[in-house]
Structure 1
């Protein structure tokens, strides 16, 4: 068993820590990298305990909260602190199972709440530039497919998984498999969202035109057996996957001269942000996105506020500082 090397730590505590790490490495059979992270977390706990003059078995929730506050003040993220607490919690749970402590001092201590980052959305100009970009070096069928992908993702706010699961038309097989389909005559699509929930999304005029152009050339490539129903096909005639869509969007956004590489969810964010900026109807955006809870949709109100604040700063005479 390896020694637990923390200066000034009581030998009895060092032996306990070494026993626990032996348990982690061998009995739990964790990966070497994970076991190393456990050891680093335990060394941090031991250092705090030594500084406080408190044996590891006598650590109280008040100690842990104080140490959490110090880590947070030192710039460690809420997620990072949560991972450290998880490691400490496991150590004290093991001490409890060994009958060495009566209660886990970390059990009810939580990390500071991490500020949720705002979703990244394109400006309207950049979104239009991407949608109107034509990749002249691509084969006509490939350009038609990618243009339809962009118009569908930005025009209807679909998740990439929902786009992957679209069929050309409705069928019993699509229903059984939980796939969606197009209804170009009705200018809408039926999609299968998270949790198996189905919803109807409208298709804009540009998306309908792009999809019609794609369907007109879709048959120029051989279609692999079993993939005849798929709306979007790859080079080998199989259903286009999410990874391929990510790569094609990234390439297209770079070719269009956008400063930021675009991914499918960025177009979904852009759709939601731009609809909200134009309509102010949060409930409608919730329905279009297929969010079960409106609190998930409310993050776009902050993007909307940022847009308004930027417009104010740029246009209002009392917003500009005198030089």
Structure 2
């Protein structure tokens, strides 16, 4: 938060402390809350609001309208309103407010975009990295593990060496909300993780981080994103390769093969099944393509 003299800031700072200490949200999530609430404080100041108790539904709608006029996209606007609702809910629970004026203000609807994914042949082409270079070995190990276990980017970079059980073909992951899950990893990932672990000591790692940069420090999320994108270009993948694309591809391919939505939910670490259900739309697309190609009566809409 900025160091301005707005009387609205102190409760926001207390809320952010609550998120950090009691709810133990990740730094990335905390940063998002801080940014959205900082902007909202600025707009509320312009509207002449000097105390959160003065905020009413009309103010909230004005905040939303101003954000939209400033070019905020639908998803970002929904995130901003969600941050405001969470903050005001906390104010109500703390006894600072009698009611949440943002509760009845709905974010604009947006079409639910299906995750982008690569097909199996593209994944195979991406993973076909066999270069005698330690960083290339590290990158292939990361790619194999990301796709082989469906990890989030933060989960990948936060892995420590003691999270691996190579002999068992398993990895222990700390996911969202500090929840731990144990995941199986495939033979390809086991092989390349073993190769990387044999090379890792040469980088003089400064802690127990599994994946380190040339400096010996834990590799950053930005570095992983950059390296994955570079390998996508080098391996001739037509679309932009990024960590979430590998996670989406893992989920899609697992669902297409197994049809077990709850198992995929557990593997991805989704708290709610509804989050995983978006992949059923991708699965239907796959089934529809198979149907159209194979069924003798599939020429729908044609006479």
Tell me the TM-score range normalised by the shorter chain: 0.5 to 0.7
Find the aligned partners of 1:107 and 1:150 in 2 and give their Cα distance.
42
* Match of residue 151, structure 1, among 144, 164, 170: 144
Long gaps (5+) in structure 1: 1-25, 43-59, 87-104, 170-180
Structure-1 residue corresponding to 2:192: 210
**CA spacing shift, 1:311–1:222, aligned 2, 3 Å:** same
Structure-2 residue corresponding to 1:265: 244
The 5 Å alignment of 1:93-172 reads 108-134=104-130, 136=131, 140-169=133-162
Q: Is the 8 A contact 1:77 1:114 kept in 2?
A: no
Q: Is the 8 A contact 2:251 2:279 kept in 1?
A: yes
Find the aligned partners of 2:229 and 2:8 in 1 and give their Cα distance.
41
Alpha-carbon offset, residue 115 of structure 1? 2.4
Structure-1 residue corresponding to 2:269: 290
Q: Is the 8 A contact 1:153 1:267 kept in 2?
A: yes
* Match of residue 184, structure 1, among 166, 179, 195: 166
Find the aligned partners of 2:79 and 2:221 in 1 and give their Cα distance.
30
**CA spacing shift, 1:155–1:82, aligned 2, 3 Å:** closer
1:104-157: CA deviations, max 9, x gaps? x997342443222111111111111111234x4xx6111110110110000010
The SS at the match of 1:216 is: helix
Q: Larger Rg: 1 or 2?
A: 1
Q: How many residues are paired up?
A: 240
Q: Is the 8 A contact 2:165 2:171 kept in 1?
A: yes
The SS at the match of 2:183 is: strand
* Match of residue 237, structure 1, among 216, 222, 229: 216
Long gaps (5+) in structure 2: 1-5, 10-34, 48-56, 83-100
The SS at the match of 1:189 is: strand
- Tell me how large the CA RMSD over aligned residues is: 3.9
Find the aligned partners of 1:107 and 1:287 in 2 and give their Cα distance.
31
The SS at the match of 1:217 is: helix
The SS at the match of 1:126 is: helix
| TM-score computed with the length of structure 2 as normaliser | 0.66
1:217-247: CA deviations, max 9, x gaps? 222x3314x32x2111101111111111111
Find the aligned partners of 1:146 and 1:117 in 2 and give their Cα distance.
29
Q: Is the 8 A contact 2:129 2:136 kept in 1?
A: no
